[in-house]
């Protein structure tokens, strides 16, 4: 479930044996764990280790690839410095991913900074990431493309606690028969109304239903098999969050970089959630 890699540098070249383990682990549904890889903050960046950097509304501060910073209470020079720290993280993770994985065409998506303690946060069940889930986002149709995320724990002392759940196929077999029928016309309407960026495919509808149904199922949350992982301060990890059931249970101050990837880029495309769901449902989903 955890593939631990002894990498200590953001730039390659990395040993062929390490690259092989990274690829097989990632596509097989493991979390790649880098205990010796720290994202170091500059002295002046340590001011950002403060929950008040957040605007108090959104869970995360985000920086999109065009450079737009959202959901921070900071303004002026401090906001610029925070954006620069996040951009440096995006560059570092892009360099590592390019050196470690064979994906030639991988899209760098959003960067997020998560300065608020996970534990005390109150929110609806659907948006509560302390409940086991696979990632699926209402406004961002993926049409089968993969969501790959790279995390760094930049907290000075607290570990980031996760639960990691059962394999995707086991989960899908249980929940697929329970998710409601797709409402024809809804995806088209949401696209026209601007609710989504582009039209949701059947895959997106299904993944959203799986995400919501799992979070709302108290018995599943309580009883389904999961392992506890603590990512120490100064460590990093990377995982396909559209496939690996995960929940963030505690911790503060994490950075996260999202990448998007076409299924065809994978060494084992049949492992992609869309392929698994198509096989189990007997339908074409995108
Ligand atoms: C999530 O992706 O569900 C949250 C992960 C985290 O913030 O550690
Ligand atoms: Fe998630």
For the chain, the structural domain boundaries read 2-281
Q: What is the pLDDT at residue 194?
A: 81
When pLDDT is averaged across residues 25-45 and rounded to a whole number, the result is 98
Tell me the pLDDT band of 110, cut-offs 50, 70 and 90: very high
pTM to 2 decimal places:
0.96
Burial 1-32 (b: 16+ CB within 10 A, else e): bbbebebeebeeebeeebbebbbebbbebbbb
Q: Is 114 a pocket residue for ligand 1 (Cβ < 6 Å)?
A: yes
Q: Is 246 a pocket residue for ligand 1 (Cβ < 6 Å)?
A: yes
When pLDDT is averaged across residues 226-230 and rounded to a whole number, the result is 98
Q: Specify whether the CB–CB gap between 72 and 82 falls below 8 A.
A: yes
User: What's the chain's length in residues?
Assistant: 286
Tell me the pLDDT band of 183, cut-offs 50, 70 and 90: low
Q: What is the pLDDT at residue 59?
A: 84
Q: What is d(CA 175, CA 156) in angstroms, rounded to the nearest whole number?
A: 39
Q: Is 241 a pocket residue for ligand 1 (Cβ < 6 Å)?
A: yes
pLDDT tops 70 at residue 120: yes
The tens digit of pLDDT for each residue in 63-85 reads 999 999 999 999 999 999 999 99
CA-149 nearest atom, ligand 1 = 2
Q: What is the pLDDT at residue 131?
A: 97
CATH code 1.10.640 for 2-281: no
Tell me the pLDDT band of 116, cut-offs 50, 70 and 90: very high
In the chain, the percentage of residues whose pLDDT exceeds 70 is 98
Ligand 2 center to 59 CA (angstroms): 12
Q: What is the pLDDT at residue 10?
A: 98
Q: What is the pLDDT at residue 180?
A: 64
Ligand 2 center to 31 CA (angstroms): 13
Q: Is 146 a pocket residue for ligand 1 (Cβ < 6 Å)?
A: no
Ranges assigned E (strand) in 91-245: 106-114, 146-153, 160-165, 226-231, 236-240
Question: What ligand is nearest to the CA atom of residue 159?
Answer: 1
Q: Is 153 a pocket residue for ligand 1 (Cβ < 6 Å)?
A: no
Q: Is 160 a pocket residue for ligand 1 (Cβ < 6 Å)?
A: yes
Tell me the pLDDT band of 171, cut-offs 50, 70 and 90: very high
CA-160 nearest atom, ligand 1 = 8
Q: What is the pLDDT at residue 192?
A: 74
pLDDT tops 70 at residue 255: yes
Q: Is 106 helix (H, G, I), strand (E, B) or coil?
A: strand
């Amino acid at each position: 479930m955890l593939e631990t890699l002894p990498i200590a540098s953001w730039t390659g070249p990395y040993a062929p044996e390490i690259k092989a383990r990274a690829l097989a682990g990632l596509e097989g549904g493991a979390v790649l764990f880098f205990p010796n890889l720290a994202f170091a903050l500059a002295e002046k960046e340590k001011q950002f280790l403060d929950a008040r950097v957040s605007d108090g509304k959104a869970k995360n501060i985000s920086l999109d690839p065009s450079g737009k910073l959202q959901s921070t209470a900071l303004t002026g020079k401090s906001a610029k410095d925070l954006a620069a720290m996040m951009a440096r993280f995006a560059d570092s993770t892009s360099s590592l991913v390019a050196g470690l994985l064979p994906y030639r065409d991988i899209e760098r998506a959003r960067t997020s900074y998560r300065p608020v303690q996970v534990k005390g946060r109150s929110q609806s069940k659907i948006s509560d990431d302390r409940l086991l889930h696979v990632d699926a986002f209402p406004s961002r149709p993926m049409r089968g493309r993969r969501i790959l995320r790279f995390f760094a724990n930049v907290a000075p002392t607290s570990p980031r606690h996760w639960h990691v759940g059962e394999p995707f196929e086991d989960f899908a077999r249980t929940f697929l028969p329970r998710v409601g029928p797709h409402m024809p016309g809804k995806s088209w309407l949401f696209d026209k109304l601007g609710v989504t960026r582009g039209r949701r495919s059947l895959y997106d509808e299904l993944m959203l239903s799986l995400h919501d149904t799992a979070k709302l199922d108290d018995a599943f949350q309580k009883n389904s098999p999961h392992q506890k992982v603590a990512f120490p301060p100064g460590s990093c990890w990377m995982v396909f969050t559209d496939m690996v059931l995960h929940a963030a249970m505690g911790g503060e101050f994490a950075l996260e970089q999202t990448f998007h990837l076409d299924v065809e880029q994978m060494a084992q495309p049949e492992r992609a959630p869309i392929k698994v769901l198509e096989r189990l449902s007997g339908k074409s989903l995108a």
